[in-house]
Amino acid sequence: MSHICDAIVVCCIDFRFQKFIRDWTDKNLAGKTFDLVGYAGSTKDLDTILKQIDISVRLHRITRVVLIHHEECGAYGSESTPDRHRNDLFKAKSSILSLNPHLTVDLYYLTLSGEFISVSNP
Rule CB under 5 A: which residues touch Zn ion? 12, 14, 73, 75
Pick 63 or 80: Cβ nearer Zn ion: 80
CB 116 within 8 A of CB 71: no
- CA 1/CA 11 separation, integer angstroms: 29
Report the relative pairing of strands 116-118 and 104-110 from DSSP bridges. antiparallel
Least CB distance to Zn ion at residue 71 (A): 9
Pick 77 or 101: Cβ nearer Zn ion: 77
List all residues 6 or more positions away from 10 whose beta carbon is below 8 Å from its beta carbon.
Answer: 37, 39, 42, 43, 49, 52, 53, 65, 66, 67, 68
Pick 14 or 35: Cβ nearer Zn ion: 14
Pick 41 or 53: Cβ nearer Zn ion: 41
Least CB distance to Zn ion at residue 17 (A): 8
Least CB distance to Zn ion at residue 119 (A): 16
Least CB distance to Zn ion at residue 122 (A): 23
